[in-house]
Chains A and B, each alone.
Chain A
Amino acid sequence: MNTEISGVVFTYLLTLAIAIPLGRYIARIFKGEKTWLDFMAPVERFIFRFSGIDTKREMNWKQHLFALLTINSVWLIYAFVCLMAQGHLPLNPDGNPGQSPDTAFNTAISFLVNCNLQHYSGESGATYFTQHFVFMFLHFVSAATGIAALIVLFRALKDKVTDKLGNFWDYFVKSITRILLPISFVIAVIFAFNGMTTSYAGKDTFISMQGDTVHVSRGPVAALVAIKHLGTNGGGWFGANSAHPIENPNYLTNTTELVAQCIIPIALVFALGFYLNKKKFSYVIFGVMTLGMLLLLIPTMNAELNGNPAIAHMGVSQPTGAMEGKEVRFGPANSAYWSIMTTIISTGSVNSMHDSAMPVSGVMMMMGMMVNCFYGGCGVGILNFYIFIIIAVFISGLMVGRTPEFLGRKIEAREMKIASLIALLHPFIILVGLAISSYVIVHMPGADWAVKPSAWLNNPGNHGFSEMLYEYTSSAANNGSGFEGLGDGNIFWNVTTGIVMVLGRFLPIIGPLAIAGLLANKKFIPESAGTLKSDTSTFGVMIFAVIIIIAALSFFPSLALGPIAEHFSLK
């Protein structure tokens, strides 16, 4: 087998080999069973005592949401202030200035919501202080927020008729002390020994072999890059993200970064089965998600390995595939795999420039974010998937003429209303944003912003349209990757994508938790011969069909105008 392909297969198998035991471990933590990291218990007790939190106090779903939203608001204000003031704060060896209010607004939201859209460049737009005390901190806590919200759902699915769903702070802190922090530590050490910088020294200068004077940005990168992937955040140290030679020095670090970003989302699928004692149910979910992943991955790898037909036309050989925007040390096969994983998993880090990928790849990446639950982000992937489950249960119920039930609870009008609203929210915010930006480009080309609308698009025609579609899709999916040619460093994009990111984060957390909380309070109906079995492949097919119809088809017209049209025009 070609070494590029075998590298991809190896990476995926390694991911599963780690994710499955990790899933069992995560289930044990939140069931309160013994684990080998119990030595962290004193640290947790100290944290709770310092914060004045009593973890014995159980919360209902509304109290959980209240806690979640309160602490997130604290972080938002904190991050916004730090970013504006970073020029005057310590740990700024390169003397970078503070961010403008609209950039700080966008950046603070972006890291708060686990999106990590970056409308600045790390080398010049952030300081060591904000990279640590804002970005790295938010990497941890935004991922932990997602995991904690998911555990509330687990709890609601498990218990019979209750409104006591555990303590939010307990889930949240343990996600950090038992999962994110220890694993990040191990990953960061691997990175440090593979050439990623760790020291706090600022820029260096040297004279190259040819005699050019070169300034080199550096920094304590390894610690940040570990949690950036583990927490499916994606916001990197440098502008070029994980394509940068310091942020991703070799194939081993690349494999580690790829594995790191996939293990928690996949582990959580298995954790669901271990937690509820319904392993078959998690196999069905895993099967649906993996099928979706493969359907996106295979065309992408095929397109990238075949290279750009327009360049083939010039007579140049593309033995490895399309190389624009890609690094030699990773190669197109791995870059294609990364671009699909990072889009289905809402990481949004990149090791190649997505803007320069083949149009078919562009379609697949955007579909990954439009569906946003093939594995999905830390915790939120399954929350999104849960919405599709509810809809699939409801439609299946209607098809056979029975009251729809899921895990022993009736799904009624109120739950369905919430599920439909959340499912439709995603296309709504993306397409409305796209419509507004398209209008502005056409009707206000000379508007006096940092980047004029007439200069927004780095590419003409259909590809330019794709740049805007990608940006809103990435914001709504809290992904954070971009077709980076887009001139997004101005007030229009900062504000509109900021709003889209907030809506795309918190409503899809509130909705599923509300449904789960409402269901947990309902009468438990024991399984009977007429119960719809949720752990069968038939049900898996049903969920898959719902996902395709709702998530993929609502975007088809916009994809047709962008990357699909570009594909057919490329000769």
Chain B
Amino acid sequence: MKTYLLPSIKLTIILIVITAGIYPLAIAGIGKFTPGHGDGETITYKGRVVGYAGIGQKFTKDEYFWSRPSAVDYNAAGSGGSNKGPSNPDYLKQVEGRIADFLKHNPGVTRAQIPAELVTASGSGLDPDLSPAGAQVQVARIAKIRGLSADALTKLVDAHTEKPMWGVFGPAKVNVLKLNVALDELKK
């Protein structure tokens, strides 16, 4: 017993110090030199922090670009998806409800123009992005409410469209928070 138990305990102690103490502290030290100083990158508008760049927030007002539906209502102190199966009848009813709601707030838009991400919940419930199509389909509504030209808004969305990684890998996307901050700044 002594041949195995005592070395096991001592080895455990020293490895805890190395892997759970020294290693993360070293990374925390390096993190100080990163863009968000290791605390997360925030977005500031009119001198106050209005959110984190990477963390999606709720946009449901008609004058903003809506963000995706969220199973946790964009609670960033929790996270998660709906975990609804693709054949669940209650879930499909919910999606149908979101489509109807979107059509009501966006007259003139047809069902076929609505990209799926606008009526489905994300995995984290904190998805910060839309596809470019998901932003463009909302342009007409926002232009009307804000009295802006649809052209200018289309351009704004284009300017905020982030290309795939290195131009070739992965999907293109639009960060909803950054887009909406730019939208508010446009009004001035």
Contacts and interface: CB of A to CB of B under 8 A. Distances in A.
Interface of A: 3-4, 6-7, 10, 47, 50-53, 66-67, 70-71, 74-75, 78, 121, 123-124, 132-133, 136-137, 139-141, 169, 173, 176, 181, 184-185, 188-189, 192-193, 195, 197-201, 203-204, 206-210, 212, 214-218, 220, 222-224, 227, 238-240, 243-246, 249-252, 254-255, 307-308, 310-311, 314-331, 334-335, 350-353, 355-359, 458-463, 466, 483-485, 566, 569-570
B87 A463 contact: yes
Interface residues on B, range: 35 or more
Contacts of B81: 240, 243, 324-325, 352-353, 355-356, 484
A82 to B, nearest CB: 10
Given A353-B81, A462-B87, 5 more contacts: A245-B126, A314-B96, A319-B133, A325-B122, A459-B84
Contacts of B6: 52
B131 A3 contact: no
A327 B27 contact: no
A308 B91 CA distance: 12
9 contacts: A70-B4, A121-B80, A195-B35, A212-B57, A223-B28, A315-B112, A316-B116, A335-B123, A359-B87
Q: Which 9 pairs from chain A and chain B are nearest by CB?
A: A198-B31, A485-B83, A243-B123, A463-B85, A353-B81, A315-B111, A240-B79, A7-B169, A198-B38
A209 B57 contact: yes
B108 interface: no
Interface of B: 4-12, 14-16, 18-21, 23-24, 26-28, 30-32, 34-42, 45, 48-61, 64, 68, 74-89, 91-92, 95-96, 99, 111-117, 119-131, 133-134, 164-165, 168-173, 177, 180-181, 184
B50 A483 contact: no
Contacts of A223: 23-24, 27-28
Contacts, number: 388
Contacts of A218: 39-40
Contacts of B68: 328
Contacts of A6: 168-169
A220 B24 contact: yes
A243 B54 CA distance: 12
Contact of B59 (A169, A209, A355): A209
Contacts of A71: 4, 8, 11-12
Contacts of A320: 115-117, 131, 171
